């Protein structure tokens, strides 16, 4: 039963991605559609979704032992991926950051929430995880990517301070957080258009991801090894670290431990592919990490639920 439930959460992702592949395969939307969709998601749809999410957030939800365990597991895997990117795979700074994101940033929204509803029977943990990644992890990663460009390496402080102005994802998250802190509800004339735009964020990102598969080039041996390492870090190392910390250090048991490990084992979010495309990084690496981790996590998430439920 658990495997069927997990599989059901993946089905919409696979369908939209497959439709994107068909559009790319037969040129239904023209030669530039993939870049336009990815840029639309990054510039308009994703900021709208993040603004609404942050404006309704409660920062107090972040204060719980499970969140600390998740944050530490993410940070540990992210740091390992950064080190491997520098010393083993010889990646440039910006590409190290996006590869580390592929290894540690979980798909907490469009996959995590359905899995939490059907497996955990509540969303009390996965929603704070989404908040944590949006509020803290995303700005850090985007800053590292931005500073990893040639322009950023020359003027790091100026680019870091101006990132909220130049980057719509960070600006929207900050604006939503400000609304949440003020505690005043937004009028419908503001919320309704943002709902329409935000609803397109996930489909646009997945559709662009699917279109990119049409032009996929089979990586060489080193490229395949790097992809396998990133997926292994995401689906094996991160939940194992979360289990070790939660069980042996913080004393979590039962449902609390299952929640942390299951969410830590979620596959890579498609946001990583959108960021890689926007910053002209190795989108092929991130695309493959998203796809492989999503496909393989059907087995890994089912195993986690079976062992800990």
Q: What is the CA radius of gyration of the chain?
A: 19
| Rounded distance between C-alpha atoms, residue 183 and residue 296, angstroms | 41
Sign of the C-alpha dihedral computed for residues 214, 215, 219 and 220 taken in this order: positive
pLDDT of residue 1 exceeding 60? no
The residue-averaged pLDDT of 22-47 equals: 93
pLDDT digits over 54-93, tens only?
A: 898 887 888 888 999 999 999 999 999 999 999 999 999 9
Write down the pTM of the prediction. 0.89
- CATH code matching the domain that covers 2-308, chosen among 1.20.140.10, 1.20.1530.20, 2.120.10.30, 3.40.50.300: 1.20.1530.20
Of the segments 14-23, 121-130, 151-160, 232-241, which one has the largest average pLDDT value? 232-241
Residue 233: count of CB within 10 angstroms of its CB: 25
Annotate the chain with three-state secondary structure. CHHHHHHHHHHHHHHHHHHHHHHHHCCCCCCCHHHHHHHHHHHHHHHHHHHHHHHCCCHHHHCCHHHHHHHHHHHHHHHHHHHHHHHCCCCCHHHHHHHHHHHHCECCCCCHHHHHHHHHCCCCCHHHHHHHHHHHHHHHHHHHHHHCCHHHHHCHHHHHHHHHHHCHHHHHHHHHHHHHHHCCCCCHHHHHHHHHHHCCHHHHHHHHHHHHHHCCCCCCHHHHHHHHHHHHHHHHHHHHHHHHHHHHHCCCCHHHHHHHHHHHCCCECCHHHHHHHHCCCCHHHHHHHHHHHHHHHHHHHHHHHHHHC
* Percent with pLDDT over 90 in the chain: 66
pLDDT of residue 127: 85
Q: What are phi and psi of 105, to 5 degrees?
A: -85, 115
What integer is the mean pLDDT of 132-146? 92
Q: Tell me, what's the pLDDT at 39?
A: 94
Region 147-169: what's the mean pLDDT?
71
Confidence band of 154 (pLDDT split at 50, 70, 90): low
Query: What is the pLDDT of the chain when averaged over all its residues?
Result: 90
Q: What is the pLDDT of residue 7?
A: 67
Q: Reply yes or no on whether the pLDDT at 115 is more than 60.
A: yes
Res 251: pLDDT:
96
pLDDT in the model for residue 81: 98
What are the domain boundaries of the chain?
A: 2-308
Smallest CA-to-CA distance from 58 within 186, 180, 208 is with 180
pLDDT score of 98:
97
């Amino acid at each position: 039963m658990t495997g069927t439930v997990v599989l059901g959460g993946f089905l919409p992702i696979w369908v939209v991605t497959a439709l994107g592949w068909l559009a790319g395969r037969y040129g239904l939307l023209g030669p530039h559609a993939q870049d336009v969709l990815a840029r639309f998601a990054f510039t308009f749809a994703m900021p709208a979704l993040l603004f609404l999410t942050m404006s309704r957030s409660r920062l107090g939800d972040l204060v719980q032992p499970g969140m600390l365990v998740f944050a530490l597991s993410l940070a540990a895997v992210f740091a390992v991926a950064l080190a491997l990117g520098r010393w083993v795979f010889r990646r440039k700074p910006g590409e190290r950051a996006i590869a580390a994101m592929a290894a540690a940033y979980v798909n907490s929204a469009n996959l995590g929430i359905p899995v939490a509803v059907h497996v955990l029977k509540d969303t009390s943990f996965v929603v704070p995880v989404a908040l944590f990644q949006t509020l803290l992890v995303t700005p850090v990663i985007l800053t590292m990517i931005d500073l990893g460009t040639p322009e950023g390496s020359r003027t790091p402080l100026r680019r870091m301070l101006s990132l909220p102005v130049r980057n719509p994802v960070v600006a929207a998250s900050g604006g939503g957080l400000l609304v949440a802190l003020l505690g005043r509800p937004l009028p419908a004339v503001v919320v309704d258009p943002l709902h329409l735009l935000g609803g397109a964020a996930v489909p646009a990102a997945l559709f662009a991801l699917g279109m990119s598969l049409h032009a996929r080039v089979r990586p060489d041996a080193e490229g395949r090894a790097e992809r396998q390492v990133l997926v292994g870090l995401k689906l094996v190392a991160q939940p194992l670290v979360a289990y070790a910390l939660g069980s042996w250090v913080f004393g979590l048991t039962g449902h609390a431990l299952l929640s942390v490990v299951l969410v830590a084992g979620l596959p890579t979010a498609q946001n990583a592919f959108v960021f890689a495309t926007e910053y002209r990084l190795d989108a092929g690496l991130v695309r493959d990490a998203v796809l492989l981790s999503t496909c393989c996590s059907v087995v890994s998430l089912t195993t986690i639920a079976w062992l800990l439920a």
